[in-house]
Amino acid sequence: MPSDRPHTPLLDCITSPADMKPLSNIELKVLASELRAETISAVSETGGHLGAGLGVVELTVALHAVFNTPKDRLIWDVSHQCYPHKVLTGRRDRIRTLRKGGGLSGFTKRSESPYDPFGAAHSSTSISAGLGFAVARDLGGAPEHGLGDVVCVIGDGSISAGMAYEGLNNAGHLKRRLIVILNDNEMSIAPPVGAMSSYLSSLYAGAPFQEFKAAAKGAVSLLPQPFQEGARRARELVKSVTVGGTLFEELGFSYLGPIDGHDMDQLMAVLRTVKTRADGPVLIHAITKKGKGFAPAEAAADKGHATAKFDVATGKQNKPPSNAPSYTKVFAQSLIKEAEDDPLITAVTAAMPDGTGLNLFAERFPDRTFDVGIAEQHGVTFCAGMAAGGLKPFCAIYSTFLQRGYDQVVHDVALQRLPVRFAIDRAGLVGADGATHAGSFDIAYLTNLPDFVVMAAADEAELVHMVATAAAIDDRPSAFRFPRGEGVGVDMPERGIPLEIGRGRIVAEGDSVAILSFGARLSECQKAAEALATKGITPTIADARFAKPLDRDLILNLARDHSALITIEEGAVGGFGAHVAQLLADEGVFDQGLKFRSMVFPDTFIDHDSPAEMYAIAGMNAPQIEAKVLEVMGVASLAERRA
């Protein structure tokens, strides 16, 4: 073990959760301390989600000490907090491969381990999935490893989403034994308090479950006065508007809490009691601190939510210098400029202000920025209402998360032809977050909608113009997509100029074969053209700009003037290329013998890796584009015959 790795003698003895069963509470506290150090050390080498995992270290240890995983199913909502869980479940030897090609996923993944019973990365799914496991258990389901208790760990942000409440409502109605832990890191709680800790520990001795529940409620009085008020405020989180109980109790859950999620004695007492005596759905409300135990994370505004590789001693992140502005920042700055001249422009995000760049917009226009929380469905319809009310909303949601609001896009926006403007970040393959965060499907699911304008930026300068274009479109919905990461380094315009709707552009004139790019693969097409030039082939390169409406004249002219046409897009089959093929078929172009190929993502989910490697797997880097041109022109097969 390298000398800079933490000293973890107890953790070194843990090869699976079964090794934790004989440990005392005192030993479990030591184990938690070592696990926290190991998590910090590992993420310093890999980058990733740090704060969420540090906030659940004690909870992770307690859960694996009390429950019998993998028979007992432990489901982590979102699961970006699962790194400590992976260390304890036989994956410590690979923990420093997190989010790397061929390494561990940054989220739970069924194919990776039996201790990951349900994959996640999007929020608010755990309770619905957990209830499904509980019903399967009670109706005789017999998967590998069996089926025992079901424990769902969900954060206070995730539980705000509608799907979580749908799951809670159904679980309360079915009355199956199901344990939900609300990991609440929004509120603060005192350091471990002796009186309350001791009191809860003593309850395990023999009180019936309902007496335990009642006593736990009253235990707040054992806290010092300043902390009593904090605990009462914590309970207000779940108070219903009706008199006589909490919202969770009204939904049919037994509610326990709030408890200190960093106090091992409290956690063990409550979890053991619930495991022994619960006879229906139970919700345990645990207060935790995101980034717990690592000062730089605790001090950060996002509590170390997502980090690059960093120095453990200082917390300083090792970010490589950028050569061009990020697409996200270009979008935000462009939107700010548009909003300076138009007081009707508003911006909406679903719990991702920093990721979408709207934190910058909020600094300039706080009254016109709305973070709706993890509520994409609401966010889309909220924008539809604003558009119907005469405002100009920009709905900034990652491609992968916009999937969660698709019915609202169709029913509330497109059907009513409301001018909501969708700013779709993280289009295409995104790297370390992998398949769960890839923006693969938005081209296909938006271009199928009538009267919907769909654009894709080929570079950061084009993005500036597309923001201006969207701002100018006021008679129908529109969307513009752009990738994660930095731009390609082109000259930037001072202000965006609205593009003519449905008009692309010729980037380079050539002959014989034309490459029609939609989106950010344009630079790879240009690299491929340079390589082809050395072989005496000069393709025409065009930037479609619009997948809907298509530039009919551009496409038909390319088909007329070339013997072969290749489309390329950063998306699944059924998108831009499919619409081009439909146009060509309708116009009878294929009857004239045009050779046509459409380069799209393969029909598989591509695992996490660097973006360059993921695009190589997808066959969309310059060498693969070059090979496709040679293949369609018959050059490759001719060379093979000569060989």
Task: Determine the 3-state secondary structure of 267 from DSSP.
Answer: helix
Task: Determine the 3-state secondary structure of 73 from DSSP.
Answer: strand
Among 392, 403, 408, 396, CA closest to 372: 396
Residue 70: asked if its preceding bond is cis (omega within 30°), the reply is yes
One-letter amino acid for residue 300 of the chain: A
Q: Which of 58, 376, 570, 626 is catalytic?
A: 376
Q: Which of 29, 290, 484, 545 is catalytic?
A: 290
Active site (annotated) includes residue 376: yes
Angle, to 10 degrees, between the axis of helix 209-218 and the axis of helix 264-277?
150
> CB of 384 within 8 A of CB of 413?
yes
How does DSSP assign 595-638, residue by residue? EEEEE---SSPPPS--HHHHHHHHT-SHHHHHHHHHHHTTHHHH
Among 331, 282, 316, 12, CA closest to 149: 282
- Secondary structure E strands in 64-164: 73-76, 150-155
> CB of 247 within 8 A of CB of 239?
yes
Instruction: At 279, list the tokens.
Output: 């006879």
One-letter amino acid for residue 582 of the chain: Q
Task: Determine the 3-state secondary structure of 208 from DSSP.
Answer: coil
Active site (annotated) includes residue 290: yes
Q: Which of 36, 137, 392, 404 is catalytic?
A: 404
| CA-CA-CA-CA dihedral for 268, 269, 274, 276, to nearest 10 | 100
Token pair 């050059």 is found at 635
> CB of 399 within 8 A of CB of 372?
no
Chain CA centroid to CA 243, Å: 37
302/296 Cα distance (integer angstroms): 11
Provide, for the chain, the percentages of residues in helix, strand and coil under a 3-state DSSP scheme, each rounded to the nearest 5: 45, 15, 40
For residue 405, what is the DSSP state? G
How does DSSP assign 329-394, residue by residue? HHHHHHHHHHHHH-TTEEEEESS-HHHHTHHHHHHH-GGGEEE--S-HHHHHHHHHHHHHTT-EEE
Task: Determine the 3-state secondary structure of 127 from DSSP.
Answer: helix
β partners of residue 595: 564
Active site (annotated) includes residue 277: no
Cβ atoms within 10 Å, residue 176: 18
CA-to-CA dists, residue 311 to 47, 49, 51, 56, 319, angstroms:
11, 15, 15, 22, 11
Question: Residue 575: CB partners within 8 Å, gap ≥ 6?
Answer: 443, 444, 447, 518, 547, 569, 600
For residue 544, what is the DSSP state? -
Q: What is the set of active-site residues?
A: 290, 376, 404
